[in-house]
Structure 1
Amino acid sequence: MSDRTYYAPSGGHPGQAELLTGRAVFTESYAVLPKGVMRDIVTSRLPHWDGTRAWIIARPMTGFAETFSQYILEVLPGGGSDRPEPDPGAEGALFVVDGTVSLSLDGTQHRLEPGGFAYIPPGAEWRLRNDGAAPARFHWIRKAYEPVEGLPVPKPLVTSDAAVAPSPMPGTNGAWATTRFVDPDDLSHDMHVTIVTLEPGACIPFLETHVMEHGLYVLEGKGAYRLNRDWVEVEAGDFMWLRAFCPQACYAGGPGRFRYLLYKDVNRHPKLRPGA
């Protein structure tokens, strides 16, 4: 039995007796969408997806984070799509947090359970169905792929959290580690989706300030995050959305591990003519 757990939203609505006060915040450099805002009323339906609703928790916004979108999809039994991706130039990453799905990717059938990961290159033929008896929930991260002359388009990849050994950060004795689903030295990839694990009391000990944009979804545990000028407490089910160069650091709050799914754009020159 795996000791990995993954928080998944289930919707619903708060009661009329509850306070309006919450932890959601949107600033010039970061946003926090706590798990309590992922209710029925904010879901979207998607064309060519049956029995499916989506929490769209990030999308490209001029002047904020511009490179990616991130959804949490809930697919009911029998639901899914035979035409999931409307943009032939988009690449995608799937990460399952609840239930199971059947993924057909370039003619090969895969079954993804919680912790299952798939990288879908641009132009790939894929279909996804929930052939189980319970709802399935998974993250879908989409990005416009940036081709480079002389570099091949990445190949499809299906793996899992359990199948990939975390890489410890130097000098941390394994207290801070990253699960990397693709080779970080493979320059054909222009985005990385990883899982960061911090053991109780571990920290990212400096204010990272860098060109990469981030989506961070807390899969497990709780932590205190420094975002720009603010300290923000986060827990499983919360999403952080960081603009490029937003200073960031954190402590794992315990008593268990603090783990989050991380998106970042990598391995490309910055565009000098945005929109070209």
Structure 2
Amino acid sequence: MTAPRYYTPQGGHPGQDQLLTDRAMFTDAYAVIPKGTMRDITTSYLPGWQGMRMWVIARPLSGFAETFSQYIVELQPGGGSDAPEHDSAAQSVLFVTEGEIGLTLDGTEHILTPGGYAYIPAGAGWTLHNSSNSSNSVAGFHWIRKRWEAAPGLEKPGPLITNERDIAPTVMPDTEGRWATTRFVDPADMSHDMHVTIVTFEPGGVIPFPETHVMEHGLYVLEGKAVYRLNQDWVEVEAGDFMWLRAFCPQACYAGGPGRFRYLLYKDVNRHMPLSPPC
């Protein structure tokens, strides 16, 4: 397998000579947040953190994401938090794209490097810091949050720390190896109510039909470029872009190359559909 590459925003600000035209789109069925919008002036901050800023690319919002939030966090050397999460019902997934972070989870320290994945159960005690010894080594990671939904007979999932390099991708049937998914948790484990995976298309790989299903999707392009079908539109996307798809939004993909097309995928799974709005 070719060594993974992960696009991480660098911020900055475009010059006055730049065109305003971009690929940003917000519709009833999907949204596209291109990498060019992730500038210094679009960052956010959180209390209880030092040396951090983040781009919020999804949040629960009427007409937009309903089940999750997703941040791209930039963490300076020495930066971090001893109390990252204030919501005891929120579970988290961290995925590192740049640098090195030290995660202390229930008293045990873990060092996560690019490709590193951590599942943090709701209610767990954890801290997070940029653990690099270099004074100029910035860390970058995705932080996906969702409230864990209990179900009869199920306990909360346990924590999981791994790296995508240690997981063999699952090749989709009848695709000649052109479409594969790196699964961090067992799809048959019903305790998990969200899956965060990495989807890889080799050049020429396709989703050969318009997928239409109940899961809400968040897709952050880690590497490469492709043409993606979103509802009735074909949209060009590249590394650093984010796509949100609401439930039942048709989607398909054509990865034209020249390199691999890869994205970090969130979806909600394994629970009944609520028959009334949440109280």
The 5 Å alignment of 1:134-145 reads 134-145=137-148
Does the aligned pair in 2 maintain the 1:65–1:244 contact within 8 Å?
A: no
Matched letter for residue 194 of structure 2? M
The 5 Å alignment of 1:27-176 reads 27-132=27-132, 133=134, 134-176=137-179
Distance 2:106 2:181 in 1: 28
Deviation at 1:257, TM superposition (A): 0.5
Distance 2:236 2:74 in 1: 26
Fraction of identical pairs, as percent: 69
Residue in 2 that maps onto 1:246: 249
Alignment equivalent of 1:235, drawn from 238, 251, 256: 238
RMSD: 1.0
Distance 1:110 1:160 in 2: 12
Matched letter for residue 42 of structure 1? T
Answering whether residue 222 of structure 2 is matched by residue 210 of structure 1, we say no
Residue in 2 that maps onto 1:197: 200
Distance 1:125 1:268 in 2: 26
Deviation at 1:63, TM superposition (A): 3.0
Matched letter for residue 16 of structure 1? Q
**TM-score, normalisation: structure 1:** 0.98
Residue by residue, what CA displacement relative to the aligned partner does 1:56-102 show, whole Å, maximum 9, x if unpaired?
00001123320000000000000001100110000000000000000
**TM-score, normalisation: structure 2:** 0.97
Residue by residue, what CA displacement relative to the aligned partner does 1:41-65 show, whole Å, maximum 9, x if unpaired?
0000101111000100000112332
| SS of structure 1 residue aligned to 2:86 | coil
Distance 1:193 1:69 in 2: 13
Distance 1:166 1:33 in 2: 27
Distance 1:17 1:173 in 2: 46
Residue in 2 that maps onto 1:6: 6
Distance 1:141 1:64 in 2: 16
| SS of structure 1 residue aligned to 2:36 | helix
Distance 1:137 1:193 in 2: 17
Matched letter for residue 34 of structure 1? P
Residue in 1 that maps onto 2:260: 257
Residue by residue, what CA displacement relative to the aligned partner does 1:97-126 show, whole Å, maximum 9, x if unpaired?
000000001111100000000000100111
Distance 2:125 2:221 in 1: 30
Deviation at 1:2, TM superposition (A): 6.5
Q: Once superposed, which parts of structure 1, at least 4 consecutive aligned residues long, lie more than 2 Å away?
A: none
Unmatched runs of 5 consecutive residues or more in structure 2: none
